[in-house]
Amino acid sequence: MKALKWSWWIVVCFVLPSALRAQPRPDPVGTIYTTTNTPVHDPVLIQQDSVYYLFCTGFGISVFSSANMKEWKKGKPVFDQPPAWAVAAVPGYKGHTWAPDISYHNGRYYLYYSVSAFGKNTSCIGVASTKSLHPASPDYKWIDHGKLLQSLPGRDMWNAIDPNLIVDDNGNGWLTFGSFWNGMKQVKLNKDLITVAQPEQWYTVAARPRNFLLPDSSAGDAAIEAPFIFKKHNFYYLFVSWDYCCRGEKSDYKVVVGRSTTVNGPFVDKTGRPLWQGGGSLLLQGDGKKWFGAGHNAVYTANGNDYLIYHGYDALDKGRSKLNIVPLQWDNTGWPILQDSITLNTINQ
């Protein structure tokens, strides 16, 4: 959802792909899809009891459920109506909500989500919570806690989208987020997980070189976004997506990773290069035959096994975005690996 250049490049490379993403294919509630036919963007996964829930970009935040991670049933969105605060904060926002993040803490499920204006860092991150994800439960009720963070053109060199929550070993919540501009940011939250801790603690955890001749209002050419932090083997692993999503057959999205012994970094790749200085070890990319670009991943542990969850652009279906859930393994030095760094057999194949 980003731009390469200011001027007309913004229209061609940013507004057009964003507009396409804002008009998803018809997807009626109750429809059941197999995994690699499930139309998603920016998926995250969580399990409650025997049910897996998938949240992703869509009007009101799209929701799917599954008993086996193979067949996915489309549910009702989180929001029936666009949050009023978001409509007021972001001109043009009509409910198409990006890149949610879901986790369970303190007896509640916390859902962070993004609202943004196309082509700008006029963006906000909001948060909602519920005691249960089961729609039939009396505890199922999403409470929207409103705006958590906001970025503005001309004021901020970061973009308040693509949130991800990590709770460190000391019980402190950290929200990592960002897209293009000066990279991935991280801020400490209060124990309630819905407000920023004071005094504020901010970090830059990943970035790519940016053409600083471009105006602050331009995303620039530092194509990085979608941070996700996962704790494993005494390391915090930071996954980010490089290059471009949302272009169908021309998408060249990919996932890179770095790690750190502390939640704030510095995160370094296999060569020791910090991610905030452009480092990143390649984990996943498309092959142009089965999948074009693939990225915006999450990591989740289910039944003792780790999985990489992401969307890929289907080379056999005109580059449409589809769900992938792939077993994530670890080498003898503790780095995440996939059986094939180009294309993986998904869980239902």
- pLDDT tens-digit map of 120-149: 899 999 999 999 999 999 999 999 999 999
pLDDT (tens digit per residue) in 22-42: 344 557 899 999 999 999 999
Return the beta strands (E) in 96-223 as ranges: 96-105, 108-116, 123-130, 143-151, 164-167, 173-177, 184-188, 202-206
Query: Is 50 exceeded by the pLDDT of residue 345?
Result: no
Range in 1-15, 271-285, 300-314 with the lowest mean pLDDT: 1-15
- Contact between 326 and 69 under an 8 Å Cβ cutoff? The reply is no
Structure-model confidence comparison of residues 102 and 4, the more confident one? 102
Query: Is 70 exceeded by the pLDDT of residue 319?
Result: yes
- Contact between 93 and 118 under an 8 Å Cβ cutoff? The reply is no
Residues facing 150 on adjacent strands: 124
Distance of CA 292 to the CA centre of its chain: 18
Q: Out of 42, 156, 162, 252, pick the active-site residue.
A: 42
How is residue 154 written in tokens?
């001309």
> What's the average model confidence in pLDDT over 185-210?
96
Q: Out of 156, 225, 269, 314, pick the active-site residue.
A: 225
Structure-model confidence comparison of residues 202 and 8, the more confident one? 202
What is the dihedral sign for C-alpha 55, 56, 61, 66? negative
Q: Which candidate, 330, 288, 291, 285, places its Cα nearest to that of 307?
A: 330
Residues in the chain, how many?
349
Query: Is 80 exceeded by the pLDDT of residue 100?
Result: yes
Separation of alpha carbons 313 and 188, rounded Å: 34
> What's the average model confidence in pLDDT over 141-158?
96
Query: Is 60 exceeded by the pLDDT of residue 10?
Result: no
Q: Which candidate, 75, 73, 43, places its Cα nearest to that of 56?
A: 43
CB atoms within 10 A of CB 170: 6
pLDDT (tens digit per residue) in 275-294: 999 999 999 999 889 999 99
> Hey, where are the domains in the chain?
8-337
Residue 342 corresponds to which amino acid?
A: I
Query: Helix (H, G, I), strand (E, B), or coil: what is residue 139?
Result: coil
* Percentage of the chain exceeding pLDDT 90: 79
pLDDT for res 340: 54
Query: Is 90 exceeded by the pLDDT of residue 2?
Result: no
Q: Which candidate, 336, 337, 314, places its Cα nearest to that of 324?
A: 314
Query: Is 50 exceeded by the pLDDT of residue 13?
Result: no
Confidence of residue 86 (pLDDT cuts 50, 70, 90): very high
Q: Is 225 a catalytic residue?
A: yes
Q: Is 71 a catalytic residue?
A: no
- Give the largest Cα separation in the chain, rounded: 55
Confidence of residue 83 (pLDDT cuts 50, 70, 90): very high
Query: Is 90 exceeded by the pLDDT of residue 193?
Result: yes
Residues facing 298 on adjacent strands: 309
Range in 63-67, 68-72, 207-211 with the lowest mean pLDDT: 207-211
Separation of alpha carbons 24 and 60, rounded Å: 13
pLDDT for res 346: 38
Structure-model confidence comparison of residues 100 and 288, the more confident one? 100
pLDDT for res 244: 85
Mean pLDDT of the chain: 89
pLDDT for res 19: 39
Write the CATH number of the domain with boundaries 8-337. 2.115.10.20
Confidence of residue 18 (pLDDT cuts 50, 70, 90): very low
pLDDT (tens digit per residue) in 216-234: 767 778 899 999 999 999 9
pLDDT (tens digit per residue) in 255-278: 999 999 999 999 999 999 999 999
Range in 87-91, 237-241, 248-252 with the lowest mean pLDDT: 248-252
Query: Is 60 exceeded by the pLDDT of residue 344?
Result: no
* Percentage of the chain exceeding pLDDT 70: 89
